[in-house]
Structure 1
Amino acid sequence: MSNKIKIRRILDEGFSQGNVDVLDELMTEDFVNHNAAPGMAPGRDGVKAVIKAERQGFPDLKVEVIRDFEDGEYVIQHVRLTGTHQGTVFGAEPTGRTISWNEIHIARVRDGRVSDHWACNDLHVLLMQLGKMTPPDTSAFRQAVVGS
Structure 2
Amino acid sequence: MSDKIKIRRILTEAFSQGKTEVLDELMTEDFVNHNAAPGMDTGRDGVKAVIRVERQGFPDLKVEIIRDFEDGEFVIQHVRLTGTHTGTVFGVEPTGRTISWNEMHIVKVRDGRVSDHWACNDLHVLLTQLGRMTPPDTSAFRQAAAGA
The bucket for the TM-score relative to the shorter chain is over 0.9
Residue aligning to 1:124 = 124
Structure 1 residue 147 displacement after superposition: 2.4
What SS does the corresponding residue of 2:40 show, helix, strand or coil?
coil
Q: Deviations over 1:93-147 (max 9, x none)?
A: 1000000000000000001100000000000000000000000111122112212
Residue-pair matches, total: 148
Task: Provide Cα deviations, 1:57-101, integer angstroms capped at 9, x if missing partner.
Answer: 000000000000111110000000000001111111100000000
Partner of 1:92: 92
Q: 1:15-94 alignment to 2 at 5 Å?
A: 15-94=15-94
Extract structure 1 runs of 4+ deviating beyond 2 A: none
Letter in 2 for 1:73: E
Cα distance in 2 between the residues matched to 1:94 and 1:38? 25
Post-superposition offset of 1:38: 2.4
- In 2, the alpha carbon distance for the partners of 1:131 and 1:80 equals 19
Give ranges in structure 1 of 5+ residues lacking alignment. none
What is the SS of the residue equivalent to 1:100? strand
Deviation at 1:39, TM superposition (A): 2.7
State the alpha-carbon separation in 2 of the partners of residues 68 and 127 from structure 1: 25
Normalising by structure 2, we get a TM-score of 0.97
The TM-score normalised by the length of structure 1 is 0.97
- Match of 2:63, SS state, is strand
How far did 1:45 drift? 0.4
Q: For 2:95, what is the secondary structure of its paired residue?
A: coil
Provide the secondary structure at the position in 1 that maps to 2:100. Answer: strand
SS at match of 1:19: coil
Query: Which structure 2 residue ranges, 5 or more long, are not aligned?
Result: none
| Partner of residue 141, structure 1 | 141
> Which digits, 9 at most, give the CA deviation of each residue in 1:7-29, with x for residues without a partner?
11000110000011000000000
Calculate percent identity across the aligned residue pairs.
Answer: 85
